[in-house]
Structure 1
Amino acid sequence: MFVSTLGRLQVTVDDGEITPTAPKLRSLLALLAVRRNRIVPTGVLVEELWNDEAPVSALATLQTYVYQLRKLLQAHGANGRDVLRWHPLGYEIRLADHELDIAAFEQLAERARDQLSDGAVVEALQSASNAAALCTGTPLYDICAGPILEPEINRLRESLLQVTQLRVEARMRLGHHRDLIGELKLLCGEHPYHEGLHGNLMTCLHRCGRRSEALEVYHLLRSNLSAELGIEPSAAIQDLQRGLLDGAPEQATAEVRTAVAPAQLPRDLSDFSGRADETKRLTELLTSDVAVTAAVVTVTGGPGVGKSALAIHAGHSVRSHFPDGQLYVDFREGTHGSFRILGRFLRAVGFAAGHLPDELDERAELFRSWAAGRRVLIVLDNVTTRGQVRQLLAGGPGSAVLITGTFRAVAGIEGATPIELEAPDLGQSNEILSAIIGPDRMSAETEAAERIIAYCDRNPLALRIVGAKLATNRLLSLAMLADRLADPRRRLHQLEFLDWSMTRTVSTGYRELDAPARALLNAAVAAGSRTLTMTRAEQLCAPGQWSADSAIEQLLQNGLVRCNWGVVGVDSFDIPDLVACYVAEVAGPNTEAC
C-alpha cells in the first residue's frame, strides 16, 4: 500500500487505486496520514470532521468511518486493524517510510539541506529535485480541510517552498542564473513578501546584465512590504540594493543566499482558548517595529498556568512577520548549554557543522552577525536561569525573543517586557474545558463542570488533563470525575495523563526553593493556612533564620503563592490548592520551622 498526499489524496495497492470517495472518509484518512504513526485523539478527529457542529452520534459515526476504512484495506490484502489501530486515546495509522510520500519527501529534503551546507551542490540539487518530483500539486488539494487538517496542509506547503528554495540556491551556485529568472518571477508573484526569493531574482537578473530590472524587483518588494505589513525590507535586502546601485552586489548577494528559513516551533494546540487578551498583548509586543533592537518579552507565571502554550500559540500567529525563521528550544528537555544551542541554531540557518567555531563567544558572535538585519523569532521555553539566555539574545529591529519561565528564572533580563500570567477567570476556564470536551457535554453537566474547574483551581494544565481524560473516555461522566477529584489526597493522582503531570509541574518550582522558603510553605500547609499575611508568615518562621519576607519573595518568584491586592498594595498571599495538595503529599505531617 502507498498513500500520496503531496497533491491529490491517493491510496494505491498492487491491483490499483483504492482511494475512498466519501468526503468524510477522505478527510479522516488524510488527517491520520499526515500524522502517521502518532495517536490522533478522538476529540481532534471529531473536531476535524464536524468542527463545531458535531452530532450527538459523532463518536459512533467516527467508529463507523474507521470500520469502513479497515474494510476497504482488508478487501485489498492489507490487515485493516493492524494498519488503522484503536487506542484508548484515539486512532493511529501505521505506515512505514516507503508507504507514504511525505516520509520520502522529508528524507530527501533533509539530505539536500545537509549536502548544500557541506558544499556538495550537485548532489544537493539532485536530492531537492527528487523531493520536488514527488509533489504533483498543492498538498491534499481535493480534500475539504477542517480546522485541524488545514494547518497541517499549510505546513506541507511551507515544506514544498523550502525545497524549492534549496533547489534554486543550488542552481544559483552552479551558475544557472538565466534559466532561473522565469521561475523566480512566478515564485515572487505567488509570494510577494518573501525576501529570499526576491533577493535571488535580483541577483539572477544582475548576473544576466539586467540591473534595472533587478532594482525594479526591489522597489516592488519594498512597496508590498510597506503597504501591506508596514515594514521595510531587511538590512540584507537593502544591502543588496545598494550593491546593485554601486555596481558590485557580490558581498550582499552572499548575505541573501541563505539556507531555508527554519520553522522550529512545536505544533500549536488546535483547541487553544481562554487567553484572548494575553495573546493580543503578546503578539503586539512581538511585532512592534519601534525598538532599535530585537523585542524581548518574558512570560512568567505559576506551575501549569500555560506559559509554553501561550508562547507557542502566539509564535504561530505571528510567523509571517518573521520570514527569516523561527528558532525554538525547550530547556525542559534535558541539559542545554548555550554552546550546543548555538550550534543547533547555526546549523538550522545554514552553517555547515564542520565550520562552526569551537569557542562559545565566537559562536555567539557569529549568531548575532547572522541575525542582524534579519527578521527572526527566537523562543526560549521553560528557562530555569537567566544565564541560559544571555548568549542567545540576538537580532535587530523587526526580530523578537520570547522567553518563558518563572519570575525568578527570567528576572533581570535587560530590556525585557514582562507578561505575568494569572490563573484564568471562571469564564476562561469554561472556555478551556469546553474547547476540549465540547459544549454539549459541558451544558449537560453544568454543576459537575463547575466542580471540576474549582477542584482544578482554574489551572490550565489541570483543566487540559481532565479534558483529555473526558474526551478519550465517553463512559467517564463529568460527575464521576468530579467525585474522584473531590478528595485532596487523591487529586494530584487524578491529574496525570500520558506525559502530562500536575505533580511533576509543581515539583519543579518546589525543588528550586531554598530551605527556609520550603519550610515556610510546608509549615503553612501543615497548619491549614491557605492565606498568608506577613504577620502569619513571621509566626511560622523560627527566630534567627531567614526573614519571612525573603521566604515569601522566593515563593512568589517560583509561582507557588499568589498576591492578594489591598487598598495600598499586597496585603496577603494565597497558596494555590494544587500547590497545597503537593506540599501535603511530599512534606507529610511533620514540618520544620524556617
Structure 2
Amino acid sequence: MRFRVLGPVRMAPATPSAAKPRAVLATLLTQANSVVSTHTLIDELWGTEPPRTATTTLQVYVSQLRKALLAGAADGRQPLLTRPPGYLLRVAPDDLDLLAFEALREQGRAAHTRGEYAEASRALGTALDLWTGPALSGIPHGPTLESSAIRLDELRAEVLEQRIAADLRLGKHQELIGELKSLVHDHPLRETVHCHLMVALYRSGRQSDALDVYHAARRALVTELGVEPGPVMSRLHERILAGDPHLARHGGPAPTSAVPTTGPSAAAVVRLPAPVPDFTGRTSQLALGRRFLAAAGPGASRLLAVSGRAGVGKTALVTQLAHEAADRFPDGRLLLVLRDAGGRALTPPAVLTTLLRWLRDPVDTAVGGAADTAALEPDEVLHARTQGRRILFVLDDVVSEAQVRPLLAAAPDCTVVLTSRQPLGALEGARHIALDVFRVAEAREFLLRCGGESLRADPKAVAEIARLCGSLPLALRVAAAGLAARPHWSAEDLVARLTDERTRLAALALGDLDVRSGLLAAYREAGVQERLAFRLLGLAPLPDFPLWGAAALLACDLPEADRHVEELVRTQLLEARPCPGRLTPKRYGFHPLLRSLSLELLGAGSPGATERLCRAYLALAQHSDARLAPGRDRLARAVTPPPGIDPLEVVGDAALSWFQEEAAGLLEAVRQAHAGGLWELCFGIASASAGFYEAGAVWDDWELSHELALDAARQADDRQAEAVLLQSLAALDWQRHLAASSLDRYRLAWHLFTRLGDHASAARCLSGEADVVLGQGRVARAERGYVRALTGARAASDARGAAHALRGLALVAVREGRFEEALGRLAECERWARGVGDRRWQEYTARVSRAVGEGAGRAGLPLEVRPGMWLLSSPAGA
C-alpha cells in the first residue's frame, strides 16, 4: 500500500511532516478519484474563519504534496491534478487501503448474502487486517475529516459484526467468545455485538451466561439511553429462555432473524422493523392506506403500491400502516426487501423461497406435513400455505411488475403493500400512493423531532437546512443526526457545510446513513444514455429548464431529448413541472440533492455541453431581442443555434414572455459562460438581454450579467463589446439615479466607439449622456447633446438612435413650454420607430403625444421619458 488512512495517515515514500499538508492529503484520499473543492479544503484546514491568504497557502500545500507524490509515482505521472472547482487525486485501488477495504467489504457482504460464509469470513477478515488504528489518526480533524473518520470507524464495526456473523454460521462459536466479550466491554451499547455473544454462549452450552449478557446489556441501555432492548435482542432472549433447538444449530438462522420458526407461536409470524418513533406528517397518505387496509379482502383490491424516490420515506410509511393494522392480519405480517445487500433485485423464485422459509411451520398443519409438499413447485406450496389465511405481505423496494407477479398469483388470499422507486402502473387492480418530499411545515417539524434542542433555538437555520436538503426525509434525518453526533456544531455550521452544492452530499453521510448511496442506486439502474443525460442536465439552470435546454445540453433534437428526460422522470431522477398557460407548458427540474449528485458525477464538467447551452441561449435571446427592441443591440453578431433548436418554433413572436420565463436561465448562462472562459458567449448573452432588463426594470440581473460580461469583453480584448456593455451599464446607472457613474461610463463608451469608428453607437452615447444632464435640470446642455446625437444618428442612418435623440428633444421642448415643437419632434420620432419596426416605441410616442396635446405637460403632470419610465419634475412655466 502506498497510502494508508485506516489508522495513522501515511504515504510512501515519505509522509509530509507538517500537520496541514497531511490534512490536505487525508481529505483528498478520503475522496480519492473525485474532485474535492477548494472551499472544502479551506474549510477543513481553517474552519469558518480562514485567513485572507487561505487560497494562496492552500496552493503552497498542494505544491508540496505534488513534489512528494511525483517522487513516489512509479509511472512518472503526477497523480494530483487541478480540476475545477478544486483538486483530484488519482489513486489505483491497490495503492490505498481504504479502496481495498471497500472492495473486500463488498465481496464479503455479497458472499454472506449468497450463503458462502467461509468466503465471507475470509474477505471481511482480510478487510479488517488493513486497519492499524483509529481511522485518519495523527492529524487534526476539520468537518470533512471528522465526518469521514466517524463513517469509517462505523464501517469497521459493521464489517467486524458481519465477519462474526459469518463465523457463527461456520460453527466457530467457542473461538469467538473471548473476542466478543472484549467487544461488549468496549461497546456496551451495541446490541448486535451482545446478540452475537449471546448466540455464541448459547451454542457453547452456556445458556445462563447468555442470559446474563442480555440482562447486562438491558441495564446499560436503560441506564445510559433510557430505552429497552430492541425487538431483535428481545426475541433472541425469548428463544434462549425457551431453549430453541434451531438456535443451537450453528447452521441455523443468524441472531438477527428474531422470528420463531417452530412451535405454536409461529402461527402468527411478525417480521417487521419497529415503527419509526419520530414519524411525521403524511396525513393524507396514511388516511388512504388505512382505508385500503380496512377494505382489503374478497371482492376488493388487495394490492397497494407506494412509489417515490429514494429516501422519501416509503418504508417508514408502509411500516407504520402495517403496525397499525395488526388486528386485521392475525396470521402474520411480513416485510421482505426485494433487493440483496449489493442492491441487486431478488429473482421471483428467491422471493417465493424466502417467504416459504418464513411460513414453513404453519404449512405442516395446513397441508399435512412437509412431506406432502415436497413434490410441489414453490408457487404451489406458497398457495397452500397462505390459502384462507389473513396475512399481510409488505414488499419493500420492488424493482418491476414482473418481480412480484408470481407472488401475487401464488397468494391470492393475502394482502400486499409494496414500495418502489417508480410507479408500477402495469399491476392490475392496484391502488397507488405517490409519495413526495415533505411539505415545508412537515420538514421543519421532522427536523425538530430528530434534532432536539440544538435546532429549536435557531428556527431560521432549521428552515435553511430543510431547503438545502430539499425536504427529503432521509437527508433531514442525516442532517439532524449529524448535529446530534457533534455537539460542538451549531445549526449554522451545518448550513455552511450544506451550502456548497458540489460537496453537499458529503455532508449528508453519517455511519450507515448515507443519502448519496440511496440516490446512486436509482442512477445506476438507469440506462447508459439516461445516466449520461442525468449528468449533463445538472448543468441546466435553476430552478428548472425547458425541453430545448435539454436538447442543447444533450446535443440531440427535441424528440430525442423528450425521450431521455421522460425516462429520467419515470425513474424519479428528474421532475416534470407542468406550467399551464405559459409559453413553455412543461419544464423539468432536479430535486436539489439529485442535482448535487449530478454535478458530483459530472466532475470537472463538460465544456462542450456548456458551450451548446450558452449558444442556444444567445441565439434565442438575439431572436427575442430583435422582436422586443429592433435595432437595439449593436453587438448582435449572428450565432447559429445548436441543431434541432429553431428560434421561430421556441419563441415565435412571444419575445417578452420568453424573456420573462428564461430570466433566471439567462443569468446562469452568463455565469457559466464566464466560468468556462466562453467570453463571446458571455458578453453576447448579456448584451442581447439588456433590452428586456430595461423594459422590465430587472435591475439586479442587469447589473450582475453586465459586470461579468464586461470582464469577459476585457479578457477577450474586445473593445467593441466593452463599449457596448459600458453604454448599457451607464443606462442602468441613470435609471438608478447614479448620475456621476452614468456620465463616466457614457463618456468612456463614447471614446471607445469613436476610436473604433462606430459613429452610430457614439451618437447613442451622446443621447444617453443628455438624458442624465436633463435629469439634473441642465436643459440647455441636454438640448445640445441631443442635437449632436441626432446629427450623428442621421449621418449613420441609425433609425433607433435618431428616435432616441428626437424623443430627448421632445422632452426638452416640453420642459421649455414649446409644446408644438414637442409634438413635431414626437411625430418624427414615431416615423423613425416605425421604420425600424419597433411597436413599443411607436406606442410610446403616441401616448406621450396625447399627453402633451391634452395639456398633461402644461399641468406639470408626470411625463413618460422612455417606455415605462416617467419624468416627475414640472415643465417650465407650469
Q: TM-score when scaled to structure 2?
A: 0.39
Query: Is the CA contact (8 Å cut-off) linking 2:195 and 2:233 kept in structure 1?
Result: no
Query: Alpha-carbon deviation of 1:294?
Result: 6.0
2-structure distance, mates of 1:475, 1:347: 48
User: CA separation of 1:296/1:483 partners in 2, compared to 1, >3 Å: closer, same or farther?
Assistant: same
User: CA separation of 1:309/1:356 partners in 2, compared to 1, >3 Å: closer, same or farther?
Assistant: farther
2-structure distance, mates of 1:564, 1:274: 24
The correspondence of residues 495-534 of structure 1 with structure 2, limited to 5 A, is 495-534=508-547
1:124 alignment counterpart: none
2-structure distance, mates of 1:404, 1:575: 22
Residue in structure 2 matching 1:328, options 332, 335, 338:
335
1:242 alignment counterpart: none
User: CA separation of 1:296/1:163 partners in 2, compared to 1, >3 Å: closer, same or farther?
Assistant: farther
1-structure distance, mates of 2:237, 2:300: 30
Residue in structure 1 matching 2:351, options 331, 341, 345:
341
The correspondence of residues 335-484 of structure 1 with structure 2, limited to 5 A, is 335=344, 336-351=346-361, 362-393=377-408, 394-396=410-412, 399-407=414-422, 410-438=424-452, 440-484=453-497
Residue type matched to 1:481 in 2?
L
Query: Alpha-carbon deviation of 1:564?
Result: 2.3
Query: Alpha-carbon deviation of 1:489?
Result: 1.7
Q: Which moved more, 1:333-342 or 1:424-433?
A: 333-342
1:550 alignment counterpart: 563
SS in 1 for 2:601: helix
Residue type matched to 1:261 in 2?
A
Query: Is the CA contact (8 Å cut-off) linking 2:310 and 2:522 kept in structure 1?
Result: yes
Structure with greater helix percent: 2
2-structure distance, mates of 1:354, 1:274: 46
Query: Alpha-carbon deviation of 1:347?
Result: 2.2
2-structure distance, mates of 1:382, 1:484: 31
1-structure distance, mates of 2:328, 2:228: 20
Query: Is the CA contact (8 Å cut-off) linking 2:314 and 2:419 kept in structure 1?
Result: yes
2-structure distance, mates of 1:155, 1:285: 33
1:15 alignment counterpart: none
SS in 1 for 2:304: strand
Query: Alpha-carbon deviation of 1:543?
Result: 4.1
1:317 alignment counterpart: 324
Residue type matched to 1:427 in 2?
A
Query: Alpha-carbon deviation of 1:512?
Result: 2.1
Query: Is the CA contact (8 Å cut-off) linking 2:535 and 2:601 kept in structure 1?
Result: no
Query: Alpha-carbon deviation of 1:264?
Result: 1.3
2-structure distance, mates of 1:272, 1:85: 32
1:575 alignment counterpart: 590
Q: Which moved more, 1:282-291 or 1:493-502?
A: 282-291
User: CA separation of 1:281/1:97 partners in 2, compared to 1, >3 Å: closer, same or farther?
Assistant: closer
The correspondence of residues 133-212 of structure 1 with structure 2, limited to 5 A, is 149=227, 152=230
SS in 2 for 1:263: strand
Query: Is the CA contact (8 Å cut-off) linking 1:305 and 1:461 kept in structure 2?
Result: yes
SS in 1 for 2:273: coil
Query: Alpha-carbon deviation of 1:325?
Result: 0.8
Give deviations 1:561-582, integer Å, cap 9, x for gaps. 2232444797222211111111
User: CA separation of 1:158/1:498 partners in 2, compared to 1, >3 Å: closer, same or farther?
Assistant: closer
1-structure distance, mates of 2:407, 2:225: 34
1:304 alignment counterpart: 311
Query: Alpha-carbon deviation of 1:527?
Result: 3.7
User: CA separation of 1:147/1:315 partners in 2, compared to 1, >3 Å: closer, same or farther?
Assistant: farther
2-structure distance, mates of 1:146, 1:260: 36
User: CA separation of 1:104/1:486 partners in 2, compared to 1, >3 Å: closer, same or farther?
Assistant: same
SS in 2 for 1:573: strand
Query: Is the CA contact (8 Å cut-off) linking 2:269 and 2:334 kept in structure 1?
Result: yes
Give deviations 1:361-410, integer Å, cap 9, x for gaps. 8211221232221111111111122221111225455x4211111225x3
User: CA separation of 1:518/1:82 partners in 2, compared to 1, >3 Å: closer, same or farther?
Assistant: closer
1:114 alignment counterpart: none
Query: Is the CA contact (8 Å cut-off) linking 1:293 and 1:396 kept in structure 2?
Result: no
Extract unaligned runs of 5+ from structure 2. Answer: 1-180, 213-217, 246-262, 613-643, 645-878
Larger Rg: 2
Extract unaligned runs of 5+ from structure 1. Answer: 1-79, 112-129, 135-139, 168-255
SS in 2 for 1:287: helix
User: CA separation of 1:545/1:508 partners in 2, compared to 1, >3 Å: closer, same or farther?
Assistant: farther
Give deviations 1:471-520, integer Å, cap 9, x for gaps. 22212211111111111121111111111222211111212222443333
User: CA separation of 1:151/1:368 partners in 2, compared to 1, >3 Å: closer, same or farther?
Assistant: farther
Query: Is the CA contact (8 Å cut-off) linking 1:83 and 1:94 kept in structure 2?
Result: no
2-structure distance, mates of 1:377, 1:147: 33
Give deviations 1:266-316, integer Å, cap 9, x for gaps. 232222223233223223212323652661111111221111222222222
2-structure distance, mates of 1:288, 1:325: 18
Q: Which moved more, 1:288-297 or 1:151-160?
A: 151-160
Query: Is the CA contact (8 Å cut-off) linking 2:308 and 2:421 kept in structure 1?
Result: yes
Q: TM-score when scaled to structure 1?
A: 0.57
User: CA separation of 1:568/1:262 partners in 2, compared to 1, >3 Å: closer, same or farther?
Assistant: farther
The correspondence of residues 174-253 of structure 1 with structure 2, limited to 5 A, is none
User: Percent same amino acid among aligned pairs?
Assistant: 25
User: CA separation of 1:575/1:97 partners in 2, compared to 1, >3 Å: closer, same or farther?
Assistant: closer
Query: Is the CA contact (8 Å cut-off) linking 1:368 and 1:395 kept in structure 2?
Result: yes
User: CA separation of 1:470/1:342 partners in 2, compared to 1, >3 Å: closer, same or farther?
Assistant: same
Is residue 279 from structure 1 mapped to residue 286 from structure 2 by the alignment?
A: yes
Query: Is the CA contact (8 Å cut-off) linking 2:448 and 2:456 kept in structure 1?
Result: no
SS in 1 for 2:306: strand
2-structure distance, mates of 1:162, 1:411: 46
SS in 2 for 1:548: helix
Query: Is the CA contact (8 Å cut-off) linking 1:525 and 1:583 kept in structure 2?
Result: yes
SS in 2 for 1:274: coil
With a CA cutoff of 8 Å and minimum separation of 6, indicate the structure with the bigger relative contact order: 1
2-structure distance, mates of 1:517, 1:263: 40
User: CA separation of 1:536/1:148 partners in 2, compared to 1, >3 Å: closer, same or farther?
Assistant: farther
User: CA separation of 1:472/1:549 partners in 2, compared to 1, >3 Å: closer, same or farther?
Assistant: same
SS in 2 for 1:526: coil
Residue type matched to 1:367 in 2?
L
Residue type matched to 1:302 in 2?
R
